[in-house]
Structures are given as structure tokens and as C-alpha cells.
Homo-oligomer: A and B are copies of this chain.
């Protein structure tokens, strides 16, 4: 069934790829009409670029596929709550829906910029949040 849990599992596959590369394990996908049009994972270390978060890459890739810069008929799935930068990008893209797994109390947009999203963006939180959070915890435990 092509529901939010199904798509979040796909975002988790991306997050695992980041984990395996030694990157903070966050994955994102963009879905348009039940079709995945972009997949990305955090690459800030690999690309030596603080802007290379999963969401940023997924938004850029999705716009390329669509041939238009707005994602107003798309859902972006992210394993972890977006940061302020990514929330801003999700807003500029006028993304129809944002679905995220684990909350990020330290760096998430909800704390620093609760009104950063486009007013029309529907937000769904907590899909597979245990799995998404566990991957993050494993990563930071391994690093210590």
C-alpha cells in the first residue's frame, strides 16, 4: 500500500545510505502522484558543503524532474525534522505536504522558526519515528 509509512521506509533506505557513508543519517524523498521523483541523503561531509542536506538535494532534484520549481503537488518525506534552512527551502518550493519521522529538538525548525513553512503546507509528524530516531542515536553513539 502506497501510504505514508511505505514512503517513509524509502526515506529510511536513503538515511541508511548516509549512515553507511559516515554521514549524519537523514534521508528524504519527494513523491508526486504516488511516484517517487527524487531520492537523497545527507552528503555534507562527502561534498564538504553545509547546504547538502537530504531535503535540499531532494528539492533540487524534484524540480529538475518536474521542469518547474514548485512542489505544490508533492509530498516530501524526511526521516528527521527539517532544520531551519531546509524548512525555508520547503517553504520556497510551496511544498504541498511535509511528512517527517523523528523530531529534532536541538536543530529542528519547530523551535527556531515555527512559522517558516508555507501556510498551505500540511505537516504530518511521527511516521516511523522510532526507526528514524534509532538510526540517529546509533550514529552518534558510534562516533563517541
Binding site for B on A (CB under 8 A): 44, 48-51, 56, 59-60, 63-64, 67-70, 83-89, 91-93, 112-113, 115-116
Contacts and interface: CB of A to CB of B under 8 A. Distances in A.
A83 to B, nearest CB: 6
Contacts of A91: 84-85
Copy number in the complex reads 2
A39 to B, nearest CB: 17
A81 to B, nearest CB: 13
Q: Enumerate the 3 nearest inter-chain pairs by beta-carbon distance, A residue then B residue, closest first.
A: A85-B88, A113-B113, A84-B88
A50 B85 contact: no
A68 B47 CA distance: 10
B48 A63 contact: yes
Contacts of A88: 83-88
Contacts of A49: 59-60, 63-64, 69
Contacts of A63: 48-50
The interface centre, meaning the residue of A50, A86, A91 with most chain B CB atoms within 10 A of its CB, is A50
Given A49-B69, A84-B84, A85-B85, 16 more contacts: A44-B69, A48-B63, A48-B68, A49-B59, A49-B63, A49-B64, A50-B93, A51-B89, A51-B92, A83-B88, A83-B92, A85-B86, A85-B88, A85-B89, A85-B91, A88-B88
